[in-house]
Amino acid sequence: MNAGPLRGLRVVELAGLAPAPFACTLLADLGAEVVRVDRAAPAADVLGVENDPLLRSRRTIGVDTKSADGVELVLRLCERADVLVEGFRPGAAERMGLGPEQVCARNPRLVYGRITGWGQTGPLAHSAGHDINYIGLSGALHPIGRTGERPVPPVNFLGDFGGGGMYLAMGVLAALFERGTSGRGQVVDASMVEGSALLTTHLFGLRASGLWNGDRGENVLDGGAPFYDTYTTADGRHVAVGAIEGRFWTALVEVLDLDPERLPVHIDAREWPRLREILAEAIGRHTRDELMAKAEGTDACLTPVLAPWEAPQHPHNAARGTFVDVGGMTQPAPGPKFDRTPAPDPRPPHEKGSDTTEVLTELGVDPAEIDRLRAAGTIA
């Protein structure tokens, strides 16, 4: 069975939260062999969940990285690895003896991936923060919300995942590509401020072109335009309307049984309040599923707003295999799709530290030494 486009890539993950595990999940999903280094005596995480999908498809070892023997084990793992990923505050890995200088001295070809909120340098580098703080500083949070209201946190999609883990994974793959020419690894410094800022690139173009001059909730793509917004249906559910271009607007008008001759010009911002009332009234006459039946086969750009737990049952997602069952839990499938080297089926998370003996044996540590390290509390 094909094991994905990253088959043969070896990754060492130093256990952390959200962005770093997500980056390693993306790599593991595509076939990389990821070994996660957990604590020898795992502590409870505030946001930890049982069978966490962010920990799927890798092995896990328990190591006390505060001990010299534990650090040496991780360094030995890194000697055989292509990538190390860590998500600690700047300087923490160095104090452990596992910073770039120490690790790359043992393996100059290793790509050292680092993910932090603020970056490895700068006035805020050592400050605490979370997704909401990083996207606040980057400008990514400000546009999200209704006009006249405060910004709305978009869960932690923009900082932790889009501008964090996915951004880091892209950087790691770029460094691996460059290594093919130079033969040398390098440090990838991925900041969630910079990653989420990168996600706003198109807004700078829109603003420079005069297409984004309003405040929050007053522009074409932030809910300001009535033809790009969400509406409540007769059954209290919601639909998304994205009929920007003229031909799509025409299709939407037809689906909603509206008379185009009696409608204001949809791109005239002065008419948006009146047009919003018309759309809300027309949409509110139907249930969500009735509207979906009317829109089927058209280019009206009218879709349901599904809860994440509803999305797997939608016929399109089911046909594409967008979601999979992993150990009894439905969750998003690996992606993107590859025609020659498809991703392997995801594997359920292993219990923390459960692969310690297997991984260390493969590393060449003899059974007596494994017993000694376990008795000393160095490994799980």
| Domain residue limits, the chain | 10-199+323-375, 228-313
Digits of tens for pLDDT over the chain (380 positions)? 458 999 999 999 999 989 999 999 999 999 999 999 999 986 666 566 788 999 999 999 999 999 999 999 999 999 999 999 999 999 999 999 999 999 999 999 999 999 999 999 999 999 999 999 999 999 999 999 999 999 999 999 999 999 999 999 999 999 999 999 999 999 999 999 999 999 999 999 999 999 999 999 999 999 999 999 999 999 999 999 999 999 999 999 999 999 999 999 999 999 999 999 999 999 999 999 999 999 999 999 999 999 999 999 999 999 999 999 999 999 999 999 999 999 999 999 999 999 999 999 999 999 999 999 999 999 99
Our answer to whether residue 160 is catalytic in this structure is: yes
Kind of pairing, strands 111-116 and 83-86?
A: parallel
Question: Is the previous residue joined to 154 through a cis bond, with omega within 30 degrees of 0?
Answer: no
CA distance 281 to 295: 17
What are the two backbone dihedrals, phi and then psi, of residue 208, each rounded to the nearest 5 degrees?
A: -65, -25
Whether 10-199+323-375 and 228-313 share one fold: the answer is no
The one catalytic residue among 38, 64, 131, 160: 160
Query: How many Å separate Cα 76 from the centre of its chain?
Result: 30
Our answer to whether residue 366 is catalytic in this structure is: no
For residue 42, the model assigns a pLDDT of 67
For residue 41, the model assigns a pLDDT of 85
What are the two backbone dihedrals, phi and then psi, of residue 5, each rounded to the nearest 5 degrees?
A: -70, -15
> Which CATH number applies to 228-313?
3.30.1540.10
The one catalytic residue among 130, 142, 238, 314: 130
For residue 1, the model assigns a pLDDT of 43
For residue 224, the model assigns a pLDDT of 96
**Count of H helices and E strands in the chain?**
14, 11
CA distance 160 to 164: 5
| Two structure tokens written together for 370 | 């494994």
Q: Does domain 10-199+323-375 have CATH number 3.20.20.30?
A: no
C-beta separation of 314 from 306 below 8 A: yes
Angle of helix 288-295 relative to helix 246-255, nearest 10 degrees, comes to 120
C-beta separation of 257 from 286 below 8 A: no
Beta strands in the chain (DSSP E): 10-14, 33-38, 59-62, 83-86, 111-116, 187-191, 228-232, 238-242, 302-304, 323-326, 329-332
Quickly tell me which residue has 């335009």 as its tokens: 225
Closest among 162, 193, 43, 179 to 110, alpha carbons compared? 179
CA distance 297 to 288: 16
Closest among 228, 222, 85, 241 to 154, alpha carbons compared? 222
For residue 48, the model assigns a pLDDT of 67
What single letter denotes the amino acid at residue 354? S
Cβ neighbour number for residue 41 with a 10 Å cutoff: 11
On the CB side of 158, CA atoms within 13 Å amount to 25
